[in-house]
Structure formats: structure tokens, C-alpha cells
Structure 1
Amino acid sequence: MNIASRLRLCALPLAVSLVLAACGDKAPPSSGTPDKAAPTAAAAEAGALPAGWQRVAGDDVPTLPGQQAVLPSKVQSDDGADVDVADTSRIIAGGDDIIAVIEALGLGQQVFAAPTNTTTQAGLAAPHQFLFNRTTGVEGVLSLQGSLFIGNSLRRHTELAKKLREVGEPAVVIDDLQPAPDKVRKIAAVLGVADAGQTLATLVQRQLDEAAVIGKGLGHAPRVIHVSATGAGGAPTVAGADSASAKLIALAGGINIGTEAGVANYSRLSNEGVVAAAPEVILVTEHDLQLFGGAEGLWKAYPTLKQTPAGQANRVWVMPDAQLKYASIGSGAGALALAQALAALPKA
């Protein structure tokens, strides 16, 4: 059974609090950092874009494979707890932002369990995929028999991590709302490769700084709307002020429509609101484009997008999830690519 089929089966609600997806034969583990020349799984399935659409992606995501971990490591979780980490061989990862850093360090084969909506190579190759949400219970996580839990949200994972630690299981939370370089440093420290994390974080920050310089030099701040197929009970949404993409768009010199509209996280925006926002650029990630069902599905989900300046110009930019939708190792490359694309827009 191939990975895509196994993921579809594993997305079924097999339990109330946790869906274990050890379906069929175990997939081969990731060899670590993905080959830069190879497209992501999402990109491979996305195929050619409609005429006029554009892929916007940085090709210089920092990696530093071949690291030798120094364990045990003692780290402070973002929920304030001090945690001793002795074994990182079977990591239960709460999100792709965590997994992307693990991959960049060449340790992708240590990802033991990943969320069902993962788009990373290491996540797709992990022995387990699981439904991870606010109701995920400690019993379900324990049943995976991992060696380390790394959550990515103080809102969702603080209580879970606390309960895991109470029964002797190491659990760390690296909050998703913090800047990408800080996140990279913290995840690397948890894995026992703090020095490598500092090096990678510096590279990411350098890219972010370069993007900011380009963004500040734009004579006009383009209006950008990032649309997603998920985020409001499965309904189409736009990225709001506290999303990673909102920060990236602003850094690259754009105006994020969701921020201006007062949208929180990923929330719905009315068809009338889309028209009134008058975006000049439409952003969508590779995985979300698949979930929409391609271009036709995107226009169907937000029919009034075609009435906006971006829609009339057929200006839809498709970005890798890892470079737009969450703050992680790819944020610098994504910000730089977006800033360069905005700078190349025709002058108003």
C-alpha cells in the first residue's frame, strides 16, 4: 500500500482522542534531509500550474546534516518546565514546523509519529501518523511508545505535555508563534545538537534580514491574500494577523489582507470582504491547492477572487507549505523568494 493510500485510511476517526495510523506495512524511514533537487510530495502531485500562475519558492533552505547528538540534554520547554532528554530515536512530533527542523539536521529518520496532515518527507515516511488536535489524550500518545514528545503549541499542548511528564515521559513544547530562528535553536537543543541549531538559526535570520531589506525598498506595498483550504472547520479561510504567513508577507513588503480585515489565525472572510480587500496577489500553498482540487476548486471556494485585481490579472502564486504556512527552517528562503517576487511586480 502506498503512502497516500495509507494516509487516507489513517485519517478515519478510529478513536475519539487519537487516531493511530500504523496501517499496513511500515514505510521506509527518511534518510534525513530531503534532496534539494527533488520536489516535495505536494509539489510532485500539484503538476503544472494554469497559465499565468507562478511558483514562488526559495531554493536555499539551510541544512546541516551529519550531526552527532550530545545526550542527555537539559532544556526548558516553552511552558516553563525543565526537561531531561535522553533518547531522541522515536520522536512524536506535533507539527511540520518541528519536523522540518529535524529534517534539516539530517535526523528525519528519528521522526516516529507525525500528524495526519503532514507534508514533510520525514512525516510521510514515519511509522505512525495520528490525528492531533485539542482533544488528543495522554493515553493515545503513550500508546505510540515514542521516546520523546515535541509539541508545537502552548494553546494545544501545554496540558498534554504536563500530563506526559507526570507519568515519566519526556515532553517539550516549542510554541509555533515565536520567530523561526528561535524555534530552530530550541528544537536543535532538544535533539542534542545545539551548536548546529545556532548555525542554522543564523542562516535563517540572514535570509529574513535580506528579505526585509528588499521589502522596505518597495515603492508600493502590494496587497496580498493568503487563502487556505482549512482552518475553520474545514471551510476555506484567509491567514490572519497571528499566522506565520502574515508575518512573512509583512516582512517581504506586502500588506496581508487578513491582518487588515482583523481576521484571527485562519478564519473565513466573506465574498464581499474579499472584493473589498482588493488583493493584488493571491497566495496558496502546494498542499492547500491540492485540497482545493486545483485551480477550479480554488475559484469555486472563493468565487469573488476573480473580481479582485489579483483575480483579473490571474496572479496566483503557489508556495511550499514549509516556506509560507509555518515558521521554521524554510521561513527565510520563503520570505526572500516572496520579497523578490513582490519587487518584480509591474509598477502601479
Structure 2
Amino acid sequence: MVKWKLRRVHRRRSFRRTAWIAGGCVVAVLLWNNGIHNIGSINAQGEADCLQPPARQTPSLPEVPEVDRSTLPDPTAITGPTTAYTQSGEIPPVSDTTEHEANLPVTVASADGSRQTVKKTDRILAMNQNGGIAAAVVGLGLGCKLVGRDIATDFTQLVPGAEQLPLITQGGHEINAEAVLALSPDVILTDSTIGPYDAQMQLRNAGIPVIFISSSYEEGVRSAGPQIREVANALGVPELGDKLAERTVREINGTQEAVEKLAPEDPADRPRTVFLYLRGSIYYWFGVGSGADSLIQSVSARDVAAEVGFKGMSPTNSEALIKAAPDIIIVMTLGLASVGGVDKALELPGIKQTPAGENRRIIDMSDYEVMSFGPRSAEVIAALGTSIYAPELAHHPDDPPESIDKRLKEINEELDEDN
């Protein structure tokens, strides 16, 4: 088991250009399939109607089955696909009075090397590839101050009962600067995984403080605490950032320990696992440094990418996948739907020739959750871990979450039209 230490973030004053290249590739891959439609087509959330869950500072672990591992089946011999569902989508804030605790104005170092001054946080825009920045804003108690969203941020799930927020991207993954300006944000929190950089600079040049949070996808689950603290510092609530980061890390560590008790005691007996992003006839293998590696490690599975030395995120071929011989393939729900479901996925080159393919052992999880590292990571670990080791005991709602269900129906309609 990997245990993440409680630690403070060290802001990077030099911005790595390579992060833009890698981040851009990730965004292009992840967001292509997620249904970006009309910019600003949904009315912004009225703050008066936005109700956050009750505040909570103490850790609360998601439910993981408490069973003797010896009574569970061999995870490498389980057959059939599983969809991993989290039990709760909401993020309780650490304070009900965050706006009164903010110490503003505040000047902070942005990860791109500039210094930005935030004077107000009445209208916040948080946007990055995995939705983690917006999740941190919600956890800090400022969710009702959000005025727009990236595609990875499922606002109605983060703040149940709230209306959806307008999208601020176009063409799949590009920031629409004009749409953002129309929302009149007081501050923009972003990172290198979304762009283009010119659009972010256009917004900064318009007088809006644009603060780059240190890019976190490489560290994956390990980035949760540091990212939360950076977001909190930028919003003038560093003490609340410490509280949320500590709560989040304790929940992650506690959930990892619970999931490890489901896994075979001998690490050699644990399932060999890969994370693939499916799109059409091409699939991307998310390897070391993609964030998926930390997710696989957090559920006590064997990370095949680390074992074979596959780094980053890039298309792979059937020979490499067959040689990797994974017992389990983790995919995103919408990516799986885009190729036509499990049966069609098994027709992709090499997949059927792996142990996972032979056993139809494909585990999918919502695109809006599985790689969203932050306050909800413990929920993700619990859902994924249970689906790997005890799928019969996993949480299965009567209906999928509304946001993912809507997009699934759209994808199925598109496939029907193509056929």
C-alpha cells in the first residue's frame, strides 16, 4: 500500500513547458469524447438557490465491505465486466462561513511564474482537465461562488440540488475566452492541463487574476493535499486549506487500508492491472506519471505499466498489451460506450488475447470521477477497490448518475445513427 504523507505544497516558480505539451495531449484525449456542446447554454447557478451539505472537518471514510479476504474469490479469476460507482457525489465543506474567514486581498505566486492579486472571490471560475480544482473549491465551502465549469466538473453531483453551470470550453477542450469574460469572474484558477495558453493570457490581460495551480496529474492521488492547499491560498483561506487537505489525506489513507484488506495478502497474487483510454480503434495506455499509476497502486493492485517501464500516456499496440498480460483493464465509462460497449472493446486489437479479455474483466468508471484527484479520491478508491476484489458487494445504484447517464444516451444515439 502506498501511504500519502500530509505535506505542504511548495509552489513552483518556474513553469515547465513540457507540462503544457503533456497536459494538452491528455486534455485532447480525455475531453474529445465527453460531449462539449453549446457554450453558456445552461443558466449559471443562482447563489441564493445553492445549498451546500453541512460542514464537516473530521474524516469520514466511504463504505468498504468488511469481509475476510480468505472468503473472497481469486481476483485474477473473476469473470465479467463491472461498473464502479461511488456511493456519494457530494463534498461536505470544511466550513459554513468560508467567505467571512477569507483574508483578502491576497497576492500569491502562480505556477507560471507570475504573481497575482485576488481582491474578491464572489465569482470563481475553476478549470482543469480532471475537475480537481473545482472539487477543492467546493470542499473549502465556496462551491456556490462557482460561475462556470470545465467538462470534468459535475456540479450537480458535487452540490446536490444545484443547477448545472455553463461550460466554458469549445471544440472539445479549448477555453472560449469570450464565454469566460461574459461570466465576469473575480478570479480564475487553472493549470497546464487545459488551454490554450493564449486564451488564459487573454483573460489575464483583461484584468482578471489568473492563477495556475501546480499541475497535478503526474502525482495523481498524491497530489490531493498539495493541490487543495494551493487553491486555498489563492482564495485567501489557507487555514481552511490545511483542514480540508488533512481531512482528505486521512480519508484517502484510511480507505486504502480498508481496500488492502480485501486484496490477496501476497502482492504477487494481486491482479495485474492496466488503465486504458478507449477512443474508436485506438486506445491509449496510461502509464507511469499519468496519475493512473497512483490510482492502481492505491487499490493495492499490480501496476503493469510500472513493472514493464511504460511511461506517460500514449497509444499502444496489440503486441505490447498482449505481452503485458493484464488481469484487469480499467477504462472510462464514456470511452467504453464510444466504442460500442464491452463486446466491441474486446474486438480491439490485442484486448481479447489478454487474461482480462478472456475473462471479459473490464472495469469502467465515470470519466467525471475516476481521474479527479482531490476531496473525492477516497470515494473513488473505495468504489474501484470493491469492484476489483468484491464486485458482488459493490454499490450498484438503480440508475447511473444523471450527468453520465445523459451523455451515455447521447453516445448510444450517435452510434445508432452511424449504424
- Regarding TM over 0.5, the answer is yes
Instruction: Specify the alignment match of 2:364 in structure 1.
Output: 318
What is the alpha-carbon distance in structure 1 between the residues aligned to residue 168 and residue 344 of structure 2?
A: 27
1:341 to partner: Cα distance: 5.1
1:32 to partner: Cα distance: 5.7
Give the 4+ runs in structure 1 shifted more than 6 A.
132-135
What is the alpha-carbon distance in structure 1 between the residues aligned to residue 389 and residue 203 of structure 2?
A: 48
What is the alpha-carbon distance in structure 2 between the residues aligned to residue 115 and residue 199 of structure 1?
A: 26
What is the alpha-carbon distance in structure 2 between the residues aligned to residue 265 and residue 32 of structure 1?
A: 39
Instruction: Specify the alignment match of 1:219 in structure 2.
Output: 267
Instruction: Specify the alignment match of 2:345 in structure 1.
Output: 298
**Distance change in 2, residues 1:196/1:157 (3 Å):** farther
Instruction: Specify the alignment match of 1:26 in structure 2.
Output: 43
Aligned-residue Cα RMSD (Å) equals: 3.9
Deviations 1:26-58 (A, max 9, x none): 2655836589xxxxxxxxxxxxxxx93223345
Instruction: Specify the alignment match of 2:136 in structure 1.
Output: 101
Aligned equivalent of 1:207, options 238, 248, 251: 251
**Distance change in 2, residues 1:165/1:240 (3 Å):** same
Deviations 1:74-97 (A, max 9, x none): 333222333222233333332212
**Superposition map of 1:10-159 within 5 A:** 11=36, 21-23=39-41, 26=43, 28=45, 31=50, 52-59=80-87, 63-64=92-93, 66-69=96-99, 70=102, 71-95=104-128, 96-116=131-151, 118-121=153-156, 125-131=164-170, 136=175, 141-142=180-181, 144-153=183-192, 156=195
1:171 to partner: Cα distance: 0.7
1:176 paired with 2:216, answer yes
Instruction: Specify the alignment match of 1:40 in structure 2.
Output: none
What is the alpha-carbon distance in structure 1 between the residues aligned to residue 167 and residue 178 of structure 2?
A: 15
| Aligned residues of 1:257 and 1:279 also touching (Cα < 8 A) | yes
Instruction: Specify the alignment match of 2:402 in structure 1.
Output: none
Instruction: Specify the alignment match of 1:17 in structure 2.
Output: none
Runs of at least 5 residues in structure 1 that lack an aligned partner in the other structure: 1-7, 13-19, 36-50
Instruction: Specify the alignment match of 1:275 in structure 2.
Output: 322
- Structure with the larger RCO, 1 or 2 (CA within 8 Å, 6+ apart): 2
- Paired letter, 2:351: L
What is the alpha-carbon distance in structure 2 between the residues aligned to residue 216 and residue 173 of structure 1?
A: 41
Instruction: Specify the alignment match of 1:335 in structure 2.
Output: 381
Instruction: Specify the alignment match of 2:70 in structure 1.
Output: none
| Aligned residues of 1:249 and 1:338 also touching (Cα < 8 A) | no
1:173 to partner: Cα distance: 1.0
What is the alpha-carbon distance in structure 2 between the residues aligned to residue 238 and residue 288 of structure 1?
A: 13
**Distance change in 2, residues 1:235/1:314 (3 Å):** closer
- Paired letter, 1:148: V
- Paired letter, 1:198: D
| Aligned residues of 1:204 and 1:333 also touching (Cα < 8 A) | no
Equivalent pairs counted in the alignment come to 312
| Aligned residues of 2:296 and 2:302 also touching (Cα < 8 A) | yes
**Distance change in 2, residues 1:333/1:110 (3 Å):** same
1:183 to partner: Cα distance: 0.9
Runs of at least 5 residues in structure 2 that lack an aligned partner in the other structure: 1-32, 55-78, 392-419
Identity %: 24
- Paired letter, 1:170: P
- Paired letter, 2:376: G
- Paired letter, 1:66: D
| Aligned residues of 1:283 and 1:316 also touching (Cα < 8 A) | yes
- Paired letter, 1:270: N
What is the alpha-carbon distance in structure 1 between the residues aligned to residue 203 and residue 171 of structure 2?
A: 15
**Distance change in 2, residues 1:136/1:62 (3 Å):** closer
Instruction: Specify the alignment match of 1:46 in structure 2.
Output: none
| Aligned residues of 1:180 and 1:328 also touching (Cα < 8 A) | yes
Deviations 1:101-143 (A, max 9, x none): 2233443333222234654437981134313888657666445
Instruction: Specify the alignment match of 2:287 in structure 1.
Output: 240
- Paired letter, 2:267: G
- Paired letter, 2:317: S
